[in-house]
Amino acid sequence: MDVERLGRRADVPVPAKEFLERRHELRPALGVEAVVVAPDLGAVRLADRYARLLGCPVATVHKLRIGPAAVQVREIVGEVRGRSPVVVDDMMSTGHTVAAAVRGLLAAGCRPEVTVVVSHGLFVGPIEQVLQDLPIGRIVTTDSVPPRADLPLPVAVASLAPLLGDAIRRLDRHESLGDLVVHR
């Protein structure tokens, strides 16, 4: 099954479906003053979709990558002062982009209550050192890549098994995958 093709057909990447289905449960936990944040320009469309689905404003971090492990925040567009950020991205590998975004958001006056939502949590290298001093309350990801067992970060993992099982069943029955994804 071509999961990437299925993801491209969706308004929201497929791994985010479970998170979004639970948005009514998660929305109160985010607080009234939440803001969805794209940590770079590549995540703007994703952040906009999450913001619409969660009923939150959106902000964007303009970053400059100055090396493999060095990211500089140039500007934050959108109001984050006094808000709890929900940083959304398709993937987190080393954590440097998220770390730079969170530091920039803190400098801009956001609340020190950060939630990170990523479709694929690779968690490579010394990511715990990169993120250790940041007020990240939880990282929500999927089991598309099993998280490291030794990871001392607050990671919540949503299983893709029900989604993949449903997709396989539909393909076997020659049914549409169109309503399997979230369109809003």
What CA–CA distance (Å, rounded) separates 182 from 17?
6
Residue type, 89: D
Beta-bridged to residue 34, according to DSSP, are 84
Residue type, 41: L
Element (H, E) at 161: helix 161-172
Active site residues: 63
Residuewise pLDDT in 10s, the chain (184 residues) = 334 333 333 344 444 455 555 555 555 556 668 999 999 999 999 999 889 888 899 999 999 999 888 999 999 999 999 999 999 999 999 999 999 999 999 999 999 999 999 989 999 999 999 999 999 999 988 888 988 888 999 998 888 888 888 889 999 999 988 777 654 4
What is the DSSP code (8-state) at residue 148? P
Domain 3-180 listed as CATH 3.40.50.2020: yes
Asked if residues 174 and 1 have their Cβ atoms less than 8 Å apart, the reply is no
Q: Structure pTM?
A: 0.83
